[in-house]
Each structure stands twice: as structure tokens, then as C-alpha cells.
Chain A
């Protein structure tokens, strides 16, 4: 820690606690407890919403059922756009879960006043604020597209590594590492940046001024959830189809 950066923490208005965690000890592991709490909260929200929407389905949807049907149509269209008409169906649950989980995570960090709950150390925030969450999600995407490729094409899947020319083999292998890296860092960095900017502005001007930035943060975090799900779909499609079409540029 750099000592002069601790100076703002003497103010009582707000504090930025980057790199401090509320550790739980599970066996020999140290886990970030605050991330677990918020993750379970988000999971509970999604489960309860799904349960309420499907408990008493009506022919003409109203209220929560309407909302969840809209969400379902949204993720279905997202998967259909990425994976094409004929093999998008089995992947809708996966891509939809990714989208909804990340979306609710990001918005929970922005909309729910977590700061009211005091922890001994660390602070409650969006679960995607922690690099571990995003890395886990992106590794899931990696596993998913490998699984999709093997299921569709068996060991012929490895043909895509040497397809145009075997010279590109190292780059093709490197791609498998850069995909999860860029996925996880994009999400983590965006969410952390949102929360840090809001935190710094609240330190400087605690009234009214942070509001537009918070709105921008809501917008960006929704877009990030969309981007994550879209790219998951694009990668799976690429693994299924192999070469022969332009895939999306991954930053």
C-alpha cells in the first residue's frame, strides 16, 4: 500500500477499500466472504424471480411473468443472433444464465445501498467487482466452447488450429488463452472502474454530481453483460462452425 493514498480515508464521507477483503477461512483456503454474500443474494433474486414467474403461468402474462418472459425472449434472440437458427437452442440456458447473472450482479452493485451494511473489513459491492468472479465466468465460457466443439466434431475439432496453415498454430493456441483473459478483464475492469469513479466523486462532491456518472455506470454495466453473453455465443458458434466466417474482433 502507498501511504499517501490513505489520506482520503481519514474523511468519514466515504472510503475506497481496494484490495481489502472480508476473508472467510474454509479449510486451508481464504475466500472473499463479501463476494460470496452478494453472489448468493443475486442468485436468490434470480431464483425467486423465476419461481414467482413460473408458479402460476397465465395465458396472458402479467407482472413478473411478463418481465421474465421478456427477459427470456431477449436472451433467446441474443443466442439466435450469435449461433444461427439451427443450433442455438441447447445454448440458450447457458448464455441466458450468464447474461442474467452478470446483469443482476452489475446492477445490484449500482442500485442496492450495500454500504449501509458494515463489514469488519472490506466492503460489499457487486460480485463482478472481484477478479475471481469474472475469471470463473470466463473459464466457464472456455469450457463451454471446447465442449461444443468436441461434441460437434470430435477430435476433428483440433483441425481448426492448423486450418489455414500450420504456421499459425502458436497464434491459434494463444487465442485460447486470450479469449478468457480479455473476457474476464473487460468485465472486471469496467465494473471496478464504475465503482471507483463513483467512489472518488463521492469523496470529492457528495451531492448531485455523482448522479449522472452513476447513470452512466448503469448503462455501461448493462452493456458489459450484453457483451459478455454475446461473445460467449460468438465463441461457441466459432467452435461449432470452425473456420470460414468472419468472427468478431476480440479486444
Chain B
């Protein structure tokens, strides 16, 4: 296993593992938001704003993994 193939594997692992947790979290958040809108349709605007903001935070966790993967692929310090 030379360095470049190891980096490709590591990149795949990074983005794959980084997608699991935020995926679950975003699913939970969206589900709760839908429930909240179903209970109180008039609160939809507020719920939507909060949901988008929190979804962006969770999304950024995956993006961190993506950044690591991209660094490994395109700007690898070890290759």
C-alpha cells in the first residue's frame, strides 16, 4: 500500500464516515420540524428559519470531512 492509494482510501473513508452522523442528525431535525409545523401551522416561518440554520450547521460537519478528503486528493502533503 503506497501513499497515494492509502490517501484515496482515506479520502473515501473521511467523506463516508463524515456523512453518517450529520445525516442522522439532519433527519431528526427535519422530522421534528415537520411535526412542529403539523401541530402549529402558523409557526411555519419561524420553524423554517431555525431549521435552515441548524441544517447548515450539520451540513458543515460533512463539509469538514469533504475538505479533508479534498486535501488528501488534491493537495496531499505526503505525495
Which A residues fall within an 8 A CB radius of B? 1-3, 5, 18-19, 182, 185-186, 188-190, 192-193, 196, 220, 223-224, 226-227, 230, 249-251
Give CA–CA (A18, B69) in the complex, Å. 13
Taking a contact as CB atoms under 8 Å apart, the answer to whether A227 and B75 are in contact is no
Q: Which residues of A contact B60 (CB under 8 A)?
A: 182, 185-186, 189-190, 251
Taking a contact as CB atoms under 8 Å apart, the answer to whether B57 and A251 are in contact is yes
Taking a contact as CB atoms under 8 Å apart, the answer to whether B56 and A193 are in contact is no
Taking a contact as CB atoms under 8 Å apart, the answer to whether B74 and A190 are in contact is no
- The number of inter-chain residue pairs (CB within 8 angstroms) is 57
Q: Per DSSP, are chain B's interface residues mostly helix, strand or loop, or mixed?
A: helix
Contact status of A223 and B75, CB under 8 A, knowing A185-B64, A189-B66: no
Interface residues on B, range: 20 to 34
A-B contact sample (11 more), CB < 8 A, given A226-B52, A251-B57: A1-B74, A2-B4, A2-B79, A5-B73, A18-B75, A185-B64, A185-B67, A189-B63, A189-B66, A192-B70, A230-B53
Q: Which residues of B contact A226 (CB under 8 A)?
A: 52-53, 56
Q: How far, in Å, is A222 (CB) from chain B's closest CB? A: 10
Q: What are 17 A-B residue pairs whose CB atoms fall within 8 Å in the complex?
A: A2-B79, A5-B73, A5-B74, A18-B74, A185-B60, A185-B63, A185-B64, A186-B63, A189-B63, A189-B64, A189-B66, A189-B67, A193-B66, A196-B70, A223-B56, A226-B52, A249-B57
Taking a contact as CB atoms under 8 Å apart, the answer to whether A227 and B79 are in contact is no
Q: Which residues of A contact B73 (CB under 8 A)?
A: 2, 5
Q: Per DSSP, are chain A's interface residues mostly helix, strand or loop, or mixed?
A: helix
Q: Which residues of B contact A251 (CB under 8 A)?
A: 57-58, 60-61
Q: How far, in Å, is B68 (CB) from chain A's closest CB? A: 9
Q: Which residues of A contact B59 (CB under 8 A)?
A: 190, 220
Q: How far, in Å, is B38 (CB) from chain A's closest CB? A: 24
